[in-house]
Structure 1
Amino acid sequence: MVEPRIRPVVRPAVRSDDDALGALDRVTWSTLHAVTPRPLPPYGPFFDALHRPEDFLVAELDAFGDPGDPGGPGGPGGIPGAEGREDDIVGYIRVARPTALASNAHVRQIQGLAVQPWARGRGVARALLRAGVLHARNQGARRLTLRVLGHNAPARALYEAEGFQVEGVLPGEFLLDGAYADDVLMGMSLS
């Protein structure tokens, strides 16, 4: 069965999104994409000096869940799996400068992309990625880069479909759950 598409509202993150984004990070953590240890309680704040709200865009369902389907059975907008989630953030993307160096101030890097498990495969990641590209362009960036684990085929396929190209591979860069994983470097020109 093909899941119905979701057309989320994508907006800049605000400090009050901290708890929701922290919870999303914990529910989506997986060695499919994460190289950091699993988050364990007590949980700290999501935002900190290195992870500022202005570097994040969030995707959420609008008041009807889906602007193209304002009613129906199930959850908001008739989206199965969205029951009771009218105000939930369904995903986020982090677009930030890769370094503080003036020599690469023209580059932005995707440093995180997460989507609620129930909302995957419904267009949320694609909407966030497209909004992230626009966000980087609006900041004057000329390049957008990212790093993705070699075994994360769904993410790699999405990035390639949206115009990213593999620019390098660091073989066996990470040891995750006893297996070595490649770090795939991807990028695209924004000019």
Structure 2
Amino acid sequence: MPGTHIRHATLDDEDALGRLDRATWSTLHAVTPPPREPYEPFFTPRSGPRDHLVAELDGRLAGYIRLGLPTDVASNAHVRQIRGLAVAEEARGRGVGRALLRAAVEEARRQGARRISLRVLGHNTPARKLYESEGFVVEGVQPGEFHLDGAYVDDVLMGRPL
């Protein structure tokens, strides 16, 4: 996407990524409570800078995608899972999410993965349309898996081969 640069995250990105994560929190995609002060570190031992690609749009951090292993089981090591995607409000509609998704697919291939998967809430229509347009298909639905804002929401499992 014009003006969009994708790169691996660094430790120096932690504060900006934390702010982005807090600013984009919504029950449209989050199943955890909203972040509170004091803020938890963005990077964790399970999910550090190496597991994140960040998008810069016109020189400013505009989004991230988190890629990791779906389990710790060796027989599942050929799969990568998208474990988070966020795009700053002012960058939406400019191709940042698509660029991050494509970069994650390429990174998964580079790591030797044969398949990529993700989970998305059933009511998150914009994300589902993006994933479908990039070749992801619904592989399963867990009906009413989460209770958010007074409603039961499906957990939709999607994936694609690499």
Question: Is the structural similarity TM-score above 0.5?
Answer: yes
1:98 aligns with 2:98: no
Q: How many residues end up aligned between the 2 structures?
A: 162
Runs (4+) of structure 1 moved beyond 4 Å?
none
The two structures have a TM-score, normalised by structure 1, of 0.83
Gaps of 5+ in 2: none
Larger radius of gyration: 1
Aligned equivalent of 1:161: 133
Letter paired with 1:160: E
Note the C-alpha offset of 1:51.
Answer: 1.6
SS at match of 1:145: strand
The two structures have a TM-score, normalised by structure 2, of 0.97
Aligned equivalent of 2:18: 22
SS at match of 2:142: strand
2:110 is matched with which residue: 138, 157, 162? 138
The two structures, once aligned, show a CA RMSD in angstroms of 1.0
1:178 is matched with which residue: 150, 154, 160? 150
Q: Distance between the aligned counterparts of 2:30 and 2:2, measured in 1?
A: 25
Letter paired with 2:28: L
Residue correspondence of structure 1 range 80-99 to structure 2 within 5 A: 86=59, 88-99=60-71
Letter paired with 1:92: Y
Letter paired with 1:178: G
Aligned equivalent of 1:35: 31
Q: Distance between the aligned counterparts of 1:154 and 1:95, measured in 2?
A: 20
Letter paired with 1:22: G
2:81 is matched with which residue: 96, 109, 117? 109
Gaps of 5+ in 1: 66-85
| Greater per-residue strand proportion | 2
Q: Distance between the aligned counterparts of 2:32 and 2:70, measured in 1?
A: 17
Note the C-alpha offset of 1:7.
Answer: 3.6
